[in-house]
Amino acid sequence: MPVFADNPYNPNPVTKLFATILFGVTVLYQMNIYFEWAAIIILSFVFYKNNLKKEAVSNIVIFGILCLLPNIEVIEKTNIVIKMFLMVLVAYRIFYFPVASGLLFIKTSDVGSIISSMDALKFPKEVSIPIAVMFRFFPSFREDRQNVKLAMKVRGIACRNPVSYLEYVTVPLLIMSSNISDDISKAAETKCIGNPIKKSRYIPVRIKAIDYIYAVLIIAVVAGGLIW
């Protein structure tokens, strides 16, 4: 996983979370189209500066396509399957901003900075430990799933009967995961995670210039878009 902490264009997780929550308002109220594009450009700029060039371009392209949607009157006469597909796109258009901002959050935050910002926000440890474990466990879970698929192939189990498929996949996965959970708990205990003292973090949460700029720009765009 790349380390973003020293990038001057990467806002800290608290700011990004704040932006996502603010964008949640746009689900309920339609923003002005020019301000929508301003928001898209800000998001793309931050993507681009964090070395996520593909996301930066696709952000603009996808929103551009979504903008074209309601103008096409030909769609009305197409058949029901295409209509259904387009309905999903309409829903996607409504939820686009929070989703894009959430993607930015996930893609540009590493586990260390998320944990220390949870500390800064005074999350209880009952929530912050499971979240930390989740980030640690996601990649290894994907690996395990591949292993189960491979094992099924080796034994010649290719049936797509959903009920037995469910059993063949979930049972080994659950057993593997239970074992991994034991391992992680042991590792965590040795690192004294249960010790109720103030902890120092490897990656501290710092407030940089970009945090102010990003927050102010997002507030301006959302407020402006709603007023106009």
Partner 1 sequence: MSSNDKKLKVKDLVLIGIFTVIYFVVMYGVGMMGMVPILFLIYPTVLGIVTGPILMLFMAKVQKPFSLFILGILSPLLMFIMGHTYILLVHSILIMVIAELIRRAGKYNSFKHNMFSFGVFNAWICGSLMQILFVRERYMEMTTTMMGEEYASGLERLVTYPNMALVYLGAIVGGIIGALLGKLLLRKHFEKAGIV
Least distance CB 189 / partner 1 (angstroms): 6
Enumerate residues 81-140 that contact partner 1 by CB under 8 A: 83-84, 86-88, 90-91, 93-95, 97-103, 105-106, 125-127, 129-134, 136-138
The reply on whether position 226 binds partner 1 by CB under 8 A is no
Question: x/- site string to partner 1, residues 49 to 68, per CB under 8 A?
Answer: --------------------
In the 8-state DSSP scheme, what is residue 30?
P
Token pair for 65 = 């396509």
Give Cα separations from 69 to 28, 39, 95, 114 (angstroms).
19, 19, 15, 36
Contacts with partner 1: how many residues (CB under 8 A)? 63
Look-up of token digits 């689900």? 27
Establish if 184 lies at the interface with partner 1 (CB under 8 A): yes
Looking at the chain, list the stretches that DSSP marks H as alpha helix, in order from N- to C-terminal side. Answer: 13-23, 25-28, 33-49, 53-68, 80-94, 96-108, 111-120, 125-154, 162-190, 209-227
Q: Which of 127, 111, 101 is nearest to 36 (CA)?
A: 101
What is the binding site for partner 1 (CB under 8 A)?
A: 17, 20-21, 23-24, 27-28, 30, 69-70, 75-76, 83-84, 86-88, 90-91, 93-95, 97-103, 105-106, 125-127, 129-134, 136-138, 141, 145, 166-167, 170-171, 173-175, 177-178, 180-182, 184-185, 188-189, 193-194
